[in-house]
Amino acid sequence: MTDRQERGRRGEAAAAKYYLDRGCRLLAHGYRTRQGELDLILEDRGVIVVAEVKTRGQRALFSGAEAVDTAKQRRILLAAKRYLQQNGLTERQVRFDVVEVGCVPGGYRIHCIKSAFEAGL
């Protein structure tokens, strides 16, 4: 595993802890489809949350949210649609978050952008 992959894995774990500490329930982590991968799928008071986690080092030039462009959003939406269909959740309300995880000395800084983009599901 490369340093970048390891940083991403740890960032996803930090983001999952962030949600769990706020009472969410983790439904899936690293859900893969042909359309792409969903980092975290959670339930927050009846709402299904699909969280795209972007982990950045201290010297990152771009924010995590900037990396979730229209093409990336489209892949996330297609993968989420598949997950919802497979798990009988198509009638549930869905929210798409982007979680920026910054590596700082001694840990992580979490910035959660709730409803970062809308779905046409």
Total count of domains within the chain = 1
Give Cβ neighbours of residue 31 (< 8 Å, ≥ 6 apart).
Answer: 37, 38, 41, 79, 83
Q: CB of 10 within 8 A of CB of 55?
A: yes
Provide the 8-state DSSP code for 90.
Answer: T
Q: E-assigned strands of 1-121?
A: 25-32, 37-44, 47-56, 94-104, 107-117
| pLDDT attached to residue 104 | 83
Tokens for 107, please give them.
């840990």
The stretch 15-44 carries a mean pLDDT of 96
Question: Which domain, by its residues, includes 22?
Answer: 3-117
**pLDDT per position as a tens digit, 65-110:** 677 889 999 999 999 999 999 999 999 999 999 999 988 888 889 9
Band (pLDDT 50/70/90 cuts) for residue 16 is very high
| pLDDT attached to residue 4 | 79
- The CATH number of whichever domain residue 41 belongs to comes to 3.40.1350.10
Cα atoms in the 13 Å half-sphere on the side-chain side of 116: 25
Q: 58: how many CB neighbours lie within 10 A of its CB? A: 8
pTM given for the model = 0.91
Band (pLDDT 50/70/90 cuts) for residue 59 is low
Q: CB of 7 within 8 A of CB of 57?
A: yes
